[in-house]
């Protein structure tokens, strides 16, 4: 039976509705994981470190798609809840066209500045060429990457999450197959990894684009529309929390890399890269739930159905806390085998990575709840609160922790930094929920 945004959501119905979004985000995260796995084992730890060093810059540019997608979906879902489908299609179409134009512009900027940015991030003479080569190739596909990020959210609002899942799974399988062909088969190393990622992003971005270009059975389709600055600015402002989270994560990754180069050297950057790849997958579960549930919240916010808003908050908090405990335990159990999978060819690097993995794993306890609360406020069209949670969680608290904790605990302080940041962010999330409860009536 088809699940609609207007339904009352039990646990069973909610999990079935958000499941495609969760799997979709997991497959999206696999891009970098597969690249890293093949590059580390077939090109060596220097090329692996180079990709990890330049990746934050690439994610900053691609993160614009998350901003437009999440903020725009909240706006469009609210308008659908108000019963104005024509206006919803106009807003949706404008945001897709803006994404395409912005993607082309950012690709040009990224290619031009890739070398100086690589130097700025601390690339060594051995790493610089791999940084530039990988970065420039992947950046050329920024438009497709942004479209994929945008459609991940809009396909949920269009009540077609399974199409988003299918396109993302196809993209993930394409990436894995091309990595094996280009890196292991042809020996193209970093260039092969970059091409595999870029081509797979085209699969994930263009399939939904063609779907929405023609009449379809969803709530949304692309139409001709004039550009209206107001809705675009509102969507971007509301989605600023997701952009802030992406920017902050990228900046914090740069700070981590600087600290690790200082305390440990190139091996520290490689170890952190392994942690990031695994974190991408685990955090993707939380982000996927947030993306999948946000249109439901936005829809009922538009209808002023406070009972269902309360229902979504309660169930989301319970699910995120429970999954946080489960993923923390799983991460600790997988620390050794995953470290061996990525860097088992180097005994010293393996032990460093395994030890770091165990300490890092405790961050998953509270990360899901913090991500969900930030996404919940985005769905309520309160971009300011959502951005504040994301900004404090991913930039202020993490940067402070990664700079200060090593002074007390040495290298272990770097690995504990993210857990400390999540603990502080949890307190901030609780504070905002209680502060805004009368305004929205969800408690």
d(CA 388, CA 391): 5
User: What is the predicted pLDDT for the residue at 1?
Assistant: 60
Q: Helix-strand-coil percent breakdown of the chain, rounded to 5? A: 85, 0, 15
d(CA 199, CA 207): 12
d(CA 156, CA 140): 27
User: What is the predicted pLDDT for the residue at 422?
Assistant: 95
Residues 6+ apart with CB under 8 A from 10: none
| pLDDT tens-place values along the chain, 443 residues long | 677 888 888 999 999 888 888 887 887 777 667 777 888 888 888 888 888 888 878 887 777 777 887 788 888 888 888 888 899 899 999 999 999 999 999 999 999 999 999 998 888 888 899 999 999 999 999 999 889 888 888 888 888 888 888 888 888 889 889 999 999 899 898 899 899 989 998 998 999 999 999 888 888 889 988 888 888 888 887 776 667 667 777 788 888 888 888 888 878 888 888 888 888 888 889 988 998 898 889 888 888 889 999 999 999 999 999 999 999 999 999 999 988 988 888 888 899 999 999 999 999 999 999 999 998 998 888 878 988 898 888 889 999 999 999 999 999 999 999 999 999 999 999 999 999 988 888 87
> Which residue, among 220, 223, 194, 241, has the nearest Cα to 76 in the 3D structure?
220
Apex CA 435: angle with CA 433 and CA 436, to 5°? 70
Token reading at 102: 């912005």
User: What is the predicted pLDDT for the residue at 241?
Assistant: 65
What is the C-alpha radius of gyration for the chain, rounded to an integer number of angstroms?
21
d(CA 434, CA 175): 44
Containing 331, the helix (H) or strand (E) segment is: helix 306-343
Residues 6+ apart with CB under 8 A from 328: 361, 362, 364, 365
Question: How many helices (H) and strands (E) are present in the chain, helices listed first?
Answer: 17, 0
d(CA 123, CA 46): 10
CB 95 within 8 A of CB 232: yes
Question: Would the CA dihedral through 382, 383, 384, 386 be positive or negative?
Answer: positive
User: What is the predicted pLDDT for the residue at 131?
Assistant: 92
User: What is the predicted pLDDT for the residue at 438?
Assistant: 87
d(CA 36, CA 96): 30
User: What is the predicted pLDDT for the residue at 242?
Assistant: 67
User: What is the predicted pLDDT for the residue at 232?
Assistant: 84
CA atoms within 13 A on the CB side of 194: 25
> Which residue, among 295, 308, 291, 266, has the nearest Cα to 44 in the 3D structure?
266
DSSP state of 361: G
d(CA 6, CA 164): 20
User: What is the predicted pLDDT for the residue at 32?
Assistant: 63
């Amino acid at each position: 039976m088809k699940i609609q945004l207007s339904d009352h959501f039990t646990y069973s119905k909610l999990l079935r509705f958000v499941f495609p979004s969760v799997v979709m985000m997991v497959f999206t995260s696999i891009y970098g994981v597969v690249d890293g796995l093949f590059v580390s084992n077939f090109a060596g730890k220097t090329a692996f470190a180079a990709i990890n060093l330049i990746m934050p810059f690439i994610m900053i540019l691609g993160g614009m798609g998350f901003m437009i997608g999440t903020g725009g979906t909240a706006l469009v879902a609210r308008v659908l809840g108000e019963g104005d489908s024509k206006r919803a299609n106009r807003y949706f179409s404008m945001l897709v066209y803006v994404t395409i134009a912005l993607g082309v512009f950012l690709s040009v900027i990224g290619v031009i500045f890739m070398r100086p940015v690589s130097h700025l991030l601390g690339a060594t003479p051995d790493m610089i060429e791999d940084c530039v080569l990988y970065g420039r190739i992947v950046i050329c596909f920024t438009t497709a990457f942004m479209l994929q990020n945008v459609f991940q959210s809009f396909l949920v609002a269009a009540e077609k999450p399974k199409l988003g899942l299918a396109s993302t799974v196809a993209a993930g399988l394409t990436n894995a197959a091309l990595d094996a062909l280009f890196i292991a088969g042809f020996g193209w190393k970093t260039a092969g990894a970059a091409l595999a990622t870029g081509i797979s992003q085209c699969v994930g971005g263009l399939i939904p684009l063609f779907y929405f270009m023609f009449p379809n059975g969803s709530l949304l389709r692309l139409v001709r529309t004039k550009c209206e600055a107001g809705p675009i600015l509102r969507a971007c402002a509301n989605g600023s929390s997701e952009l802030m989270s992406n920017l902050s994560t990228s900046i914090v990754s740069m700070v981590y890399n600087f600290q690790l180069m200082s305390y440990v050297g190139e091996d520290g950057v490689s170890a952190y890269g392994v942690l990031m790849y695994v974190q991408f997958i685990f955090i993707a579960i939380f982000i996927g739930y947030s993306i999948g549930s946000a249109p439901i919240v936005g829809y009922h916010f538009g209808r002023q159905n406070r009972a269902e808003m309360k229902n979504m908050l309660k169930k989301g908090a319970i699910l995120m806390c429970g999954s946080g405990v489960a993923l923390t335990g799983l991460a600790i159990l997988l620390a050794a085998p995953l470290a061996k999978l990525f860097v088992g060819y180097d005994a010293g690097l393996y032990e460093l990575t395994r030890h770091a993995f165990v300490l890092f794993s405790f961050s998953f306890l509270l990360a899901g709840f913090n991500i969900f609360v930030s996404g919940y406020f985005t769905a309520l069209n309160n971009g300011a609160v959502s951005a504040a949670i994301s900004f404090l969680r991913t930039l202020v608290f993490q940067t402070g922790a990664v700079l200060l904790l090593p002074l007390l605990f040495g290298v272990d302080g770097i690995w504990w930094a993210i857990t400390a940041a999540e603990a502080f962010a949890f307190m901030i999330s609780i504070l905002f929920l209680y502060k805004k409860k009368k305004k929205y009536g969800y408690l």
